Structure 1
Amino acid sequence: MNSHQKPFRVVGAYAAQPNAAAERRAFLDGVLDLPGVDGLEISWGAPGWDEDFPILADLLERRGGQGRHVLTLIGAAASAAAKDPKVGLASTDAAGRARAVELVAAAHRAVADFVERGQRILAVEVHAFPSLPAAAAGEGGCALEASLREIASWDWGGATLIVEHCDARPTDGPWQKGLLPLDVEIEAVMAAAGAAPTPLGMAVNWGRSAIEERDATAPERHARRLRSAGLLRGVMFSGATGREGAYGPAWSDVHPPLREQVGESVMDRGHVAATLDAAGAGLLYEGVKVAVRPQEASTADRIALIRGTLDALDAARSTR
């Protein structure tokens, strides 16, 4: 649990970073200089990581060990599953599940390297890939439990292992990530957590919960469900669109900011406040991850979009 008086606050800056590597240093410095920001959500192993890592390592070294960061495997895991749809921690294929565990083992080594460099990793977010038909969700949940038991037996240097919920695959109709239902994930995490030396928990991604039900109130329900199960450790505020626009088709997993900044977004200040209220006290971390349109946006505009959603978190917390 978090002994800090309030949740640590992280920014998934990678979703809004400039395409040009030369501009990223100033951008990341600007993000970490925003009031109330404790650290970054770092997209370890994602496409482009080899280019991002030297910039990030230099930035964090210059800043010392003051930050509190979250490592997410979403990009790495999604990329692996795209190349081979049998790969994932919830895979019902033994070889595919083993490959996913190997990927997490590589992230485990990366966490050890960050710690050795003097950085503090609060949590490591993993995900219930691959996408399975709804009829196979129960079997996928058993596979996820087995994977979690294995990876939670490792020493993570004080980090909590987090299953970040993504939109579940429906019986019919479209999906984005299309992973396991929330209750199946809860059952797997609770079963694995019993004897695990590493703390296990779960997180809500606002946008993906909204996408799952095509409903901007779904994240509140998911947060409340996880809180009642005693598993909620994090909430990441990444929006969703209710209609087509600059961010693409409606209900795409594209991380728009607040509605006041992008009209097609369904995430407004009221929904942010309601989700935080549903989450209650005891979060380890909260954060913001928003993408930017157009791609040519200036560094200042990128930081302004992030700050807008951070301001909504501040406003919500000021009334609690």
Structure 2
Amino acid sequence: MTLPRTKKPSGSHKAKSTVIIYSAYNAAPAGLTDDTETEDLWYAALRSDPRIGGLELPVIGGQLHPHGLARLSNLLDPGWSNTISAMSLTLAATKTDQGYGLASEDPAGRQRALSDIASARTETLRLQERLGPTSVRAFALQSAPRADRSSMSAFTDSLSQIARWDWGTIELLVEHSDALVPGQTPQKGYLTVEGEVEAVQSATDSGGPRIRHLVNWGRSAIEGRSAGTPLEHIEKLGDGLGAFAFSGAAPVATDRSTEWEDVHLGLAADEPGSLLDSDGACRLVAALPNGLSYLGIKTGAPTGSRGTERLQLGLSMLDILC
């Protein structure tokens, strides 16, 4: 396919005000997009909460919604400033294609990933054209595949290409997942924070668009097997941190996870075993640098919950953050 045109560097990325982005799709019931009535109620519940400044929207099968952008546009609040993540796209591809990813040592697999990001970019810009220039604030990229099938030079080159495409006002973020740690079974096992920082710095220059980093509390805790790892990652990134998302993780089995499984647990008060408690979340918020694009919440659904009850864990996090 033809990759997007490039643009002339236009200076550093303009800072945006911090909003709260809810990754509500992680809690969505199966088949939501095929049940119009249930989907309408789901999005109505999200639109009714003034604390939510936007949603994280996943790219699945090359699309932001299986029934098209017109349907999605009607569901979203016109005042929201949403973000897009390629994580679902990346995870689906790497299940059957071990050479797939922006950091892949396999040139063909890396090209497949670049082509998919190019298509996702087109879809994202079309959504932005429908809803207005502030409707999409960021797009998150991942350093897949597993680090033992990846290379720094490959990821650097991919980021360099992507950064030269015309993204308009949309900020690019590298979303960190748990890195591949020797002797430890990974959930995703991508590059280290240090490696991602090096790739970003090598791929961009002072005159071009800036790429920053997205850290998720639960995934950092899973990587380090510690509630202290998220703060360590924040400190390592400094003002390179562009966004931070909250989800829990547990060193023990819970009602819906094994130990250190990446299922986006809620707060400890809602899901016993989770290391993320309200006091710790508040302390971490205080340690975050100024100038973040957004704060995120990413939770699954309580066992046995139905309909909009599945939003309970995320709404509890909103209570803490707001």
Give the TM-score normalised by structure 1.
0.89
Equivalent residues of 2:213, 2:243 under 8 A apart: yes
| Cross-structure match for 2:161 | 150
| Cross-structure match for 1:260 | 269
- Judged with a 3 Å threshold, the aligned counterparts in structure 2 of structure 1 residues 249 and 275 are, in CA distance, closer, same or farther, namely same
Deviation at 1:299, TM superposition (A): 2.8
Equivalent-residue separation in structure 2 for 1:179 and 1:161 (angstroms): 18
| Cross-structure match for 1:69 | 82
Equivalent residues of 1:176, 1:252 under 8 A apart: yes
- Judged with a 3 Å threshold, the aligned counterparts in structure 2 of structure 1 residues 89 and 268 are, in CA distance, closer, same or farther, namely same
Deviation at 1:197, TM superposition (A): 3.8
Equivalent residues of 1:115, 1:157 under 8 A apart: no
Deviation at 1:241, TM superposition (A): 1.7
Equivalent residues of 1:235, 1:287 under 8 A apart: yes
1:100 counterpart = 2:113: yes
- Judged with a 3 Å threshold, the aligned counterparts in structure 2 of structure 1 residues 28 and 104 are, in CA distance, closer, same or farther, namely same
What is the correspondence of 1:178-193 to structure 2 with a 5 Å cutoff?
178-193=189-204
| Cross-structure match for 2:222 | 211
1:247 counterpart = 2:256: yes
Deviation at 1:305, TM superposition (A): 1.8
Equivalent-residue separation in structure 2 for 1:196 and 1:147 (angstroms): 18
Deviation at 1:277, TM superposition (A): 2.3
SS at match of 1:54: coil
Structure 1: stretches of 5+ with no match in the other structure: 315-320
Equivalent residues of 1:154, 1:198 under 8 A apart: no
Equivalent residues of 2:215, 2:244 under 8 A apart: yes
SS at match of 1:152: helix
- Judged with a 3 Å threshold, the aligned counterparts in structure 2 of structure 1 residues 200 and 213 are, in CA distance, closer, same or farther, namely same
| Cross-structure match for 1:317 | none
- Judged with a 3 Å threshold, the aligned counterparts in structure 2 of structure 1 residues 281 and 56 are, in CA distance, closer, same or farther, namely same
Equivalent residues of 2:301, 2:313 under 8 A apart: yes
| Cross-structure match for 2:9 | none
Deviation at 1:59, TM superposition (A): 4.9
| Cross-structure match for 2:18 | 7
- Judged with a 3 Å threshold, the aligned counterparts in structure 2 of structure 1 residues 78 and 59 are, in CA distance, closer, same or farther, namely closer
Equivalent residues of 2:301, 2:312 under 8 A apart: no
Cα root mean square deviation, aligned: 2.1
Structure 2: stretches of 5+ with no match in the other structure: 1-12
1:175 counterpart = 2:186: yes
| Cross-structure match for 1:307 | 315
1:297 counterpart = 2:305: yes
SS at match of 1:219: helix
The percent identity for this pair of structures is 30
SS at match of 1:124: strand
1:198 counterpart = 2:209: yes
SS at match of 1:9: strand
Equivalent residues of 1:2, 1:282 under 8 A apart: no
Give the TM-score normalised by structure 2.
0.88
SS at match of 2:237: helix
Deviation at 1:2, TM superposition (A): 6.1
Equivalent residues of 1:2, 1:284 under 8 A apart: no
Deviates more, 1:236-245 or 1:273-282: 273-282
Aligned-partner residue type, residue 27 of structure 1? W
Deviates more, 1:272-281 or 1:96-105: 272-281
